[in-house]
Each structure stands twice: as C-alpha cells, then as structure tokens.
Structure 1
Amino acid sequence: MKVVGIDIGGANTDMAIIEVENGELKDIRVDSRYLPMWLKKDELQKTLKELLGGEIEDIDGVGVTMTAELADAYKDKEEGVKDIIGKVEEVFNVPVAYVSLSGMLDAAAALKNPLEVAAANWIATSQIAAAISKNCIMVDIGSTTTDIIPIKDGRECAKGRSDLERLSTGELVYTGVLRNNLATIVDRVPLHGKWYRVSSELFAITADIHLVLGNIDYKDYTCDTPDGADKTTRDSMRRIARLLCADLKLLNQQDIREIATYIYHQQTLKIAEAIKEVSDRENLDRIVTTGLGMNILGRKAAEILKMECRSMDEFLNPRACIVAPAIGSAIMMGDHLTEL
C-alpha cells in the first residue's frame, strides 16, 4: 500500500509518501515546497501535482492536515478550510481524508465540521512521538510555530484543542526557526555593556539570527527575506543591524553576533517557559523534539530545564523530521484505509 501525507501550512506545503507491506513500514520519501498561501493560494493544486509527479497515479490514499486556513487570504478559518478542501479534492481520484481533532474525516464530514480539521497538524505529529515514548512532551519546532503536546499512555492529552485555546495553555508558542519578526522576541538587546531598544519594523527574522550563528545554512532559509535581498550571512547581518536602526558601517560582525546570540537565547527561553508550564501541569519530565528546530531550539530548551530529551532524528532522517506532520498524516491515513 502506498499512502501520501500532505501538510498544507501557511508558508510551506510538505509531502510524505509511505509504503506499507504486511503492516510494516517499508519506505518513506519526503519533499516540500515554499508556498505562501496568503499570496498564492490558487497555486495549491499545481504545487500538489508537482510534489507527487508521476507517482500520483500509483497511490492508494491521501491524508491531509492543514494550518493554512489561518492565512489572511481568508476572512475566517471556515472559509480557509473549505477552500483548501475544495482544491485538494480537485487533484486526487483516490480516497482522501483529513486529520481532525477526533481522527480522520472524509471531505463531506470535514466540510460540515471545518473547525475540527483546522490546525490539527499536531495530532498527526503526536502519533510518531507517542511511538517513541508513551509518556513525554512532544516539542515540534517549525519555521514559524512551536507545538508542545503532552502525551500520556501513548495518547496525546493536550488541554487546549484549537490554536486559540493552546495559546493559553502553553501548548502553542508562536516562535520558530525562520519566519518570526525579531521584534516579537525582544524589545531591547545588550551591546557594549549598554541596553538598546529595538525597532518594531519587520527588518529581520529568526532565519537571520540562525544563519549568522551557523544554526542553519542558506538552503534551510526557505522563506522570503524581509527586504527581498539575498540569503548570505552578510545580508542577514545587515538586516539584524537595522533592528537597532543601524547598518554595517555602525556595527561590526562581532556586534551582530552578540545581538544574535542574545536573541537566540531569549527565543529558547520562551520555548522552555512553555514546556515547563506543560511539564508542571501534566507531571511529565521527558521531551521528544522534532521539526527544523528540534536540536537548535528544542534540545537547548531541554538543557535549560534539565529534562531528558530525545530527538525524532534518532528514528527518522533529519529531513523527514522537518515534515513530521505529513508523515503522521500518511500513517493515520494508512490506518484509516485498513478500517474502511
């Protein structure tokens, strides 16, 4: 059986193809495309076809999860979910089901209950984390957000269900490796023994500090740059300098690295604070990290908290970990097909 999992995010659309034989996972292949849905939602069908290529004729089913319904191309989440489902259904002629808060739903059921499938990607990822540790906190750090999901006895037990609820429970933190405005992480930075308040303009993003610090390379910098310029270390340094209303004639490379290091630490603290909230509430002391930031942010947060930490790349290759919700969606769809 060959099953596809698709994670349609606001900025990236990820795909995983899994092959299962006699109930055993034989192969996983993954791919991804940068697709800013707030600008190019009408290119979704084309993107899905490109991701699958010739294999579109050989698949047995498709599992889909989404967070793109929050993109400001839609007036509300319901409109976004319905539009995305409509576009997906145009592409495939095999069974398609959507990850929801209560399992897999076909298109008809999902259209009747659109908020059940909105931003349910963490449900898919938690299936993988639960297989690694039956009692843990899954920390999935992507390009933009961090999901912090408690798992007990092999099942997710998040207190919040919607994004709105999870923002209040410590289970969702709007910070990630690439796309966050640095001014949302800090309002001032230390330099030369003084504190400097920062500009709240969109001058630099988290991808810039992680590129400068060597946490990622330019190939990982998959989103657009704030100024439309290139993705070299020097370009990132220039963007960070603007955070202090400066440039590379006023600040040198050592200055920029000092600023970047401080912001990186503050970002890690924000994640650690939320993990601690969930840990204290649920009495869990083990973390399983995944996503682009699993080691550069997730593992660092675990070190701050002195908590045991395992990375999903112990079981999947690092590239697969970046698209874990797509893999989880494929696994859930495979199980769904066997039940039909």
Structure 2
Amino acid sequence: MSITAGYDVGGAHLKVALAEEGRTVAVRQIPCPLWQGLAALDDAFATARDLTDRAQQHAVTMTGELCEAFPDRVTGVAEILDRMAQLTAQAPLRIWIGQRGMGSAEQARAHPLDVASTNFLASAALAGRQVANALIVDMGSTTTDIIPVVDGIPVPRGLSDGERLRSGELVYSGTTRTDASCVAKRAQLDGIIQRLAAGSFANMADVRRVLDTLPDDVDQHPTLDGRGKSQPESLERFARCFGRDAAEFSADVWRMSAAEIAAQQMDDIADAIQHVLATSKLPAAAPIIAAGVGAFEIAALAQRLGRQHVSFADIADADASCRDWATRCAPAVAVALLA
C-alpha cells in the first residue's frame, strides 16, 4: 500500500498529512516560524520524521513564500522548493501548481507564481470531487480563505493573495495569531465604548481563552509578552488593550468585552462570506465546508447564516484518530490525496 505525505509550508506552521489508499490516516501541525529563516523548516521537518519516513511519495503546497525571510515571492517559492527537495530526496516529490494541478519540481520552478499561496485551490479541488457545489471557508491561525466550488470546479475570482484580498475571498484575520487591535478599533468595557490600544498586547488566542472557547492544542506559538497561556495570563494581556489591569474589573465584565471583539471578527468574516456568495453562482442550498483551526467558529457561522455545514474531515475520509487535525490542516491533506 502506497503512502503519500502532504505538506503545507506556511509562514508560521508546517502541516503534514499522510494519505493511504485514498484515506487520511495521520495529520500533524508543527510550529515553523519561517520568518526566522529556512532553518525553522529543517527543525519542523525533523519533528515530523516519524510520519514522513513512512511515505513513498511527497507532495507540497505553500504560503510561506510571502514571509519576511524572502525578498520577493518568486525567491521564496524557489528557496522553499529547493529545501523541500533536499528534505524529501529519498522519494518522488510532487508540487501543487495552482490551476495547473500537481506537477514536478521542475514544472513548479517554471511557474513560481502558480505555486505561491495557492494551497486554498488544492483544498477546493479535493472538495469538488466530493461535493458539486459548496463554499469552503478555511479559518486558520492568521487568515481566512473563502472559495466557491461550482459544478465540482473551484471558481475563485482571485488567485493571488493580492487579487483575493481585492475580491473579498481572503480575509487577513485568523483564530489565534491576529492582534486583537487589528480586529477591533473600538469596543465596550463596562458598558462604555472606547478605543483600543494598538500595541500588540493581546491576540485572538487570548480573546478566545478569556471566553474559554479555544481548543487547547491549536495555539502553538509563544504569547505576545512571552508569558504563559493560562486564562488569567491571557486576561492580563487583554486588559492592556484597554489600557487597564485585569484587576480593575470583574471577570464577567472582561468576558463581555472579549465576546464583543470575537463577534466583530466573525461579523467581518460573515460579511466576506455573504459577498462571495453574492458574486458566485452557488445555489442557495450549497453547504459551507468548514476547515482550519477555526472550523468550530465557521460551523457556528454556517448555522447563523442558515447554511448546512460539512467538516473537511468528511471530505478527506479521515481516520477517527485524526479527524480534528484533518479539518484543521486541509491543504496538506488535500495535496496528499491529490498527488
């Protein structure tokens, strides 16, 4: 039986999935601060060796070319391709080349901008094999992708990050790493609306920990102040967004403020979803396929919008042992199954 390892090389995480005979059998997300250099990718790959050594074939997609380690996207694609070719040298390597589908490393080097940040298309291509009409919403740690699939074909209006930001199909707002002051400029505290301090004090992982809605295993990066991830420590960071100490108000007051900021984030994503639905040819009954570490938020949003929701794990025929992570790491799973 042949096993394929799929990789989604991001700017903050390496996501690895194993596919065997058309089923997803293992998935892992590993912190990979690629903005610090390619050594971070080496370290993350080494952590996944117990998975990758099982593979007879490797498949790669990426978004990490956009990070600060590279002077431009073409250079980023080339350097990530070279490093992944070295790391997977013991078995054949396939690359996701956007609308061109899977190809060789040589073909990918010839079309770097089709490789750059088109991982969302891999998820959509796999979904189109299972569901003819759907809207994929992948809420990751940093961004949210919104991709319509019509008659089994992904039909985004934009392909690059720049085009998708313009079309509304990419929202630079995520479940954990997004700064709370980027989500909201104003919020209420004890019944009074005020401005927030834009000082990288707290992120949306802190907001969700204050609300006790964040799964324990999805926030894998250090906190903004280098302290721990307990609810009291998150509350201290969150209070700084209001220029306060946590002790100045009750936990209930702070939870109300956190709930408002979380709602502002999800309202923004809901507006983007409605915009994409309005500009696509999706039928009214088309479901939302929820993916990413924020899939739990997207499932709730689908219900609010009156749409059926489907977990990406169902699309990926994921084993029970890895269902949650198959949903959270959709592009890695997709390239493993498409290769």
What is the CA–CA distance in structure 2 between the aligned matches of 1:43 and 1:27, rounded to whole Å? 26
Task: Indicate the larger mover: 219-228 or 234-243.
Answer: 219-228
Structure 1: runs of 5+ lacking an equivalent: 334-340
Structure 2: runs of 5+ lacking an equivalent: none
After superposition, give the CA deviation of every residue in 1:52-94 in whole Å (9 maximum; x if it has no partner): 33752x4221110101111111111111111111111111222
One-letter amino acid of the structure 2 residue matched with residue 326 of structure 1: A
Q: Report the CA distance between 1:280 and its aligned residue.
A: 0.8
Of 319, 324, 327, which aligns to 1:321?
A: 327
One-letter amino acid of the structure 2 residue matched with residue 69 of structure 1: E
Q: Report the CA distance between 1:134 and its aligned residue.
A: 1.0
What is the CA–CA distance in structure 1 between the aligned matches of 2:140 and 2:204, rounded to whole Å? 11
Task: Indicate the larger mover: 249-258 or 264-273.
Answer: 249-258
Q: Report the CA distance between 1:276 and its aligned residue.
A: 0.5
Structure 1 runs of 4+ aligned residues shifted over 3 Å read 313-316
What is the CA–CA distance in structure 2 between the aligned matches of 1:38 and 1:17, rounded to whole Å? 26
One-letter amino acid of the structure 2 residue matched with residue 34 of structure 1: P
2:308 corresponds in structure 1 to 308
Please say if 1:233 is aligned against 2:222: no
1:11 corresponds in structure 2 to 12
What is the CA–CA distance in structure 1 between the aligned matches of 2:137 and 2:52, rounded to whole Å? 32
1:337 corresponds in structure 2 to none
Q: Is the 8 A contact 2:136 2:146 kept in 1?
A: yes
Please say if 1:141 is aligned against 2:148: no
SS in 2 for 1:234: helix
One-letter amino acid of the structure 2 residue matched with residue 243 of structure 1: C
1:155 corresponds in structure 2 to 153
One-letter amino acid of the structure 2 residue matched with residue 305 of structure 1: L
1:98 corresponds in structure 2 to 95
SS in 1 for 2:254: helix
Aligned length: 327
Task: Indicate the larger mover: 211-220 or 147-156.
Answer: 211-220
2:69 corresponds in structure 1 to 73
Please say if 1:88 is aligned against 2:84: yes
Q: Report the CA distance between 1:192 and its aligned residue.
A: 2.3
Q: Report the CA distance between 1:247 and its aligned residue.
A: 0.9
Q: Is the 8 A contact 1:18 1:27 kept in 2?
A: yes
2:221 corresponds in structure 1 to 223
Q: Is the 8 A contact 1:218 1:232 kept in 2?
A: no
SS in 2 for 1:249: helix
2:30 corresponds in structure 1 to 33
Q: Report the CA distance between 1:254 and its aligned residue.
A: 1.4
**What's the % identity of the aligned pairs?**
31
Q: Is the 8 A contact 2:290 2:327 kept in 1?
A: no
For 1:174-213, list aligned pairs within 5 A: 174-213=172-211
Task: Indicate the larger mover: 280-289 or 2-11.
Answer: 280-289
Please say if 1:63 is aligned against 2:63: no
SS in 1 for 2:48: helix
SS in 1 for 2:219: coil
TM-score normalised to structure 2 length:
0.92
SS in 1 for 2:248: coil
